[in-house]
C-alpha cells in the first residue's frame, strides 16, 4: 500500500487562521527586525530550524525566517525574507521584500490595522499590504 501526502490539504491546514502582510522596504532584514522589536516591543529572532530551502535550476536557495512568539497566546509571528541570490520565495510578489505571517490565533481587523500603521512608520518602509490567500500561488513555499 502506498500512502500519498496531500500537499494541498497540508497547505490549507497551515494557512487556517492566518494573516499575511507583504512589506516593501529598503532596509536589511536584521535592521528591520531590530526596528520592529523596538517599536512593537516584539522579540523577533532568526529561527534557523524553520529556514525555507528551495531548489531551483539545480541550485539551493535559503530564505531566513524570523519568529516572535506572543506570550500567553498561541499566536506566532513569522517574518520571511522574500528574496535570496536573485530568487524569490513568492515570485508572484517580487516587489515585496518581506512577508509577515501571523499564525496560531485569530488576529482581529483593528490589531492588524494598527500593526500595518506602525510598520509603515518605520524608516525605509515603502509599502505594507495584506495579501489574501487567493492571491498567493506558491503558498506551499511558506510552509515549514
Number of folded domains in the chain? Answer: 1
List pLDDT tens digits, range 41-72.
Answer: 999 999 999 999 988 888 999 999 999 999 99
Q: Helix, strand or coil for residue 87? A: strand
Let me know if residue 4 belongs to a domain.
no
Let me know if residue 9 belongs to a domain.
no
Let me know if residue 67 belongs to a domain.
yes
Q: What is the pTM of this model?
A: 0.86
Domain encompassing residue 28: 19-142
Q: Where are the alpha helices (DSSP H) in the chain?
A: 7-14, 29-40, 109-120
Give Cβ neighbours of residue 62 (< 8 Å, ≥ 6 apart). 51, 52, 53, 84
Let me know if residue 1 belongs to a domain.
no
Q: Is residue 38's pLDDT more than 70?
A: yes
End-to-end CA distance of the chain: 27
C-beta separation of 102 from 82 below 8 A: no
Give the C-alpha separation, 41 to 38, whole Å.
6
List pLDDT tens digits, range 15-29.
Answer: 677 899 999 999 998
Percent of the chain with pLDDT over 70: 89
Amino acid at each position: 500500500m502506498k500512502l500519498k501526502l496531500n500537499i494541498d490539504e497540508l497547505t490549507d491546514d497551515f494557512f487556517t487562521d492566518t494573516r499575511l502582510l507583504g512589506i516593501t522596504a529598503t532596509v536589511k532584514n536584521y535592521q528591520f527586525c531590530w526596528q520592529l522589536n523596538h517599536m512593537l516591543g516584539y522579540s523577533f529572532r532568526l529561527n534557523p530550524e524553520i529556514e525555507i530551502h528551495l531548489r531551483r535550476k539545480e541550485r539551493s536557495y535559503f530564505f531566513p525566517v524570523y519568529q516572535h512568539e506572543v506570550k500567553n497566546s498561541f499566536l506566532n509571528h513569522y517574518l520571511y525574507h522574500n528574496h535570496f541570490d536573485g530568487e524569490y520565495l513568492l515570485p508572484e510578489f517580487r516587489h515585496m521584500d518581506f512577508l509577515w505571517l501571523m499564525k496560531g490565533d485569530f488576529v482581529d481587523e483593528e490589531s492588524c490595522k494598527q500593526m500595518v500603521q506602525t510598520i509603515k512608520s518605520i524608516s525605509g518602509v515603502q509599502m505594507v499590504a495584506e495579501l489574501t490567500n487567493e492571491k498567493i500561488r506558491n503558498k506551499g513555499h511558506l510552509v515549514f
